[in-house]
A and B are shown apart, each in its own frame.
Chain A
Amino acid sequence: MSLIARHLEANGIPTVIMGCARDIVERCGVARFIWSDLPLGNSCGRPFDVGSQRTILGMALDLLESARAPRTTVQTPYRWGLDDAWKDDFWRVDEDPERMARQRAEFDRQKAIAAERRKEAEC
């Protein structure tokens, strides 16, 4: 999505990204970025928390107006839980080789499905 935003910006359309993966978006380099320190899947706020969703969208709209230069990142105030322990679980390397092997087998299976879908789309 960051690559899409860059293309729109280069062609005169101002953009703002709402996201959770700070390093990935900033590494790609975008004009405006609203970052929430929440698990992936919650770019626009916490589930069933309309207040957070409204505030984050509002912050995105504010940033469209206020940013003076590219690479402007603004952090939202929201947290996921009482501590940040959830952050250890994503892409965690499992100590058990059998579980890792099962994960890899499933990953390879999904990759094959994706390749099939891509071929269908290109026909």
Chain B
Amino acid sequence: MGERGAEGPERTGPIPYVERSRAYYLAQGYGNPYNWAFHEDVPFAPLAKPLAESRVALLTTAAEYDPALGDQGPWAAYNASAKFYRVYSRPTDVIPDLRISHIGYDRVHTSAEDMNTWFPLAALREAEDSGRIGEIGPRFHGLPTNRSQRTTIEQDAPEALARCREDGAEAAILVPN
């Protein structure tokens, strides 16, 4: 399947996660494969003013480290105890300790040692300092990873919007994991 350039290494295209997850869970004996969201139409909002004058929100699926909730890494196995089910918000003027042990990331090839690979606050601060953006929103927002799309749409999305509005956000960066 891979392609090799004249001298380069073998490369393949993007991982087909949707197909892979179906095949994997069927092989495990589950009868109802997860139905990943699909939409024909996509909403689009242009920037209202230059980015250098805009307040930028940061949204993450990562969780705050809580020593009471078992191994959260680096190198942690999948840890459902660290899951959360309500949107949370924390100030952006301190660097938090966020973990992704509750998320199905690639544990074979990724150790989850460097938070900056899933939470870009340090890089965003540089962008703020250099004037590339107006400012970072006063809080970042943590979003639950619900299996139920209905819960995400009916509960978490309106909550995220309300908090971004309270913060006066004029653009948002979202990082799934």
Contacts and interface: CB of A to CB of B under 8 A. Distances in A.
A90 B123 CA distance: 28
Interface size class of B (residues with CB under 8 A): 35 or more
Q: Which label, helix, strand, loop or mixed, suits the secondary structure of the B interface?
A: loop
Contacts of A4: 59, 143, 152, 156-157, 160, 174
Interface in B95-116: 100, 103-106, 108-114, 116
Given A31-B43, A45-B117, A58-B123, 19 more contacts: A3-B37, A4-B152, A13-B45, A14-B47, A17-B176, A18-B174, A21-B15, A22-B15, A23-B16, A29-B41, A30-B42, A40-B106, A44-B119, A44-B120, A50-B123, A65-B51, A103-B28, A104-B28, A121-B86
A31 B45 contact: yes
Contacts of B169: 13
Contact of B20 (A16, A91, A107): A91
- Most chain A CB neighbours (cut-off 10 Å) among B42, B164, B171, B175: B42
Would you list the 8 A-B pairs with minimal beta carbon distance, nearest first? A41-B105, A39-B106, A1-B176, A121-B85, A7-B157, A70-B42, A57-B123, A10-B43
